[in-house]
Amino acid sequence: MVVTESIRIERTKHSRISQVDFANLPFGKIYTDHMFMADYRDGEWKNSRVVPYGHISISPATPAIHYGQAIFEGMKAMKSPTGDVLVFRPADNWMRLNVSGERICMPPVPEELFMEGLSTLISLDQNWVPKDEGSSLYIRPFLFSADEYIGIRPSENFTFMIILSPVGPYYSTPVKVKIETQFTRAAEGGTGYAKAGGNYGAALYPAKLAQDEGYHQLLWTDGKTHQYIEESGTMNVMFVVDDTLITPALSDSILAGITRDSVLKLARKWGMRVEERKVSVTEIMEAAGSGRLREAFGAGTAATIAHIELIGFEGKDYYLPAIAERKFANRVYEELEGIKRGTRPDPFGWITKM
Ligand code: COI
């Protein structure tokens, strides 16, 4: 592992690792001993540092709080049977961070800063990477504006950070989703393709209404006609109808998921018919009604491969086949987990050892 000399390191004096029950990890509630930070000031990235994990001090006038000038990423690291820490596709997350940043007027984070910040942090906190199947180290890089100015304009100062969280599954059971045809997550020309904090905040209320009805999540539809399925907010969505893997084509209202891309690459490698195109609600509900919808699942870093148990539409719940029968989703889950953990070959070069 390369540790850049320019990254200042301040180690914690009180590790919290002995307090963690690694056999029962929740998602996103436990953080490791350290975090990475860097500041963008006067047009340059400076003051890269790894410091003890803890609260940060920001101006109450920072536009990140008022106007949502903030973006984030999600990645995972796992421990191989030989004890190496393996990170899944970090360069793809770095690139997507900068795609998101451009959309809301943020400076690019240089690849070196991202990668060396990550590897320095992970090397300090490597004992926090869980070993057990089903658990992993969730990596959350994020970038937010840090001006002290409440006028509306792109900021000039920013903070980039990475925090790490040992996690268990995001969804501990197959998910119940409801097709949303009233509210909109993302509109054409909007920020739906960016991993911008505001997209997630704006989706909370419609998702909460669905959760009050017993669903876990929504299946968002397009903002114009509500006739086409887009994504699920916490994950992209995929369907197996007969023998074909179908998923909504990327657009400016859908996040370009890295797990989505990985699933499509594996499916094509295995010779499966794959269609990335507009997917209408009618088509999926007809396939569900006639038994041709054999599988449906979400694909995301946090969610991994999340089987969809049922789809709610217009007041009716459509149950999908038993999870044990879902050949493709089960196979792709096993394959991805194996690649991430270093127990299966990595033909696409997705793994970075840190
Ligand atoms: C991720 O999968 O990394 C995300 O950012 C989704 C979020 C729901 C945790």
The DSSP-derived string for 65-113 is: HHH--EEE--EEEEE-TTS-EEEESHHHHHHHHHHHHHHTT-PPPPHHH
Distance CA 200, CA 73 (A): 12
* pLDDT level of residue 73 (50, 70, 90 thresholds): very high
Exposure on the CB side of residue 234, measured as CA atoms within 13 A: 18
> Taking residues 245-259, what's their average pLDDT?
98
> Taking residues 21-31, what's their average pLDDT?
96
* Both tokens assigned to 143: 């970038």
Q: Which residue puts its alpha carbon closest to atom 8 of ligand 1?
A: 234
Q: Which residue puts its alpha carbon closest to atom 9 of ligand 1?
A: 302
| Model pLDDT, residue 4 | 47
Mean pLDDT, rounded, of the chain: 96
The CA-to-CA distance between both ends of the chain, in Å, stands at 6
Given a contact cutoff of 8 angstroms between Cβ atoms, the answer to whether 332 and 305 are in contact is: yes
CA 300 to ligand 1 centroid distance, Å: 7
* pLDDT level of residue 112 (50, 70, 90 thresholds): very high
Radius of gyration of the chain (CA): 21
- At residue 67, does pLDDT exceed 90? yes
| Model pLDDT, residue 2 | 42
Distance CA 170, CA 148 (A): 35
- Residue 221 β-bridge partners: 229
Q: Which residue has the tokens 């969809």?
A: 308
> Taking residues 43-62, what's their average pLDDT?
97
Given a contact cutoff of 8 angstroms between Cβ atoms, the answer to whether 149 and 61 are in contact is: yes
CA 301 to ligand 1 centroid distance, Å: 6
CA 151 to ligand 1 centroid distance, Å: 30
Q: Which residue puts its alpha carbon closest to atom 7 of ligand 1?
A: 234
* pLDDT level of residue 233 (50, 70, 90 thresholds): confident
List ligand 1's pocket residues with C-beta within 6 A: 74, 234, 300-303
Given a contact cutoff of 8 angstroms between Cβ atoms, the answer to whether 186 and 253 are in contact is: yes
* pLDDT level of residue 68 (50, 70, 90 thresholds): very high
pLDDT digits (tens, 9 = 90+) for 154-200: 999 999 999 999 999 999 999 999 999 999 999 999 999 999 999 99
Percent of the chain with pLDDT over 90: 97
Q: Which residue puts its alpha carbon closest to atom 3 of ligand 1?
A: 74
Please state the atom number of ligand 1 nearest to the C-alpha of residue 301. Answer: 2
Given a contact cutoff of 8 angstroms between Cβ atoms, the answer to whether 216 and 250 are in contact is: no
Task: Of 94, 14, 102, give the one whose Cα is nearest residue 53.
Answer: 14
> Taking residues 336-348, what's their average pLDDT?
97
Question: 3-class DSSP state for residue 6?
Answer: coil
- At residue 5, does pLDDT exceed 90? no
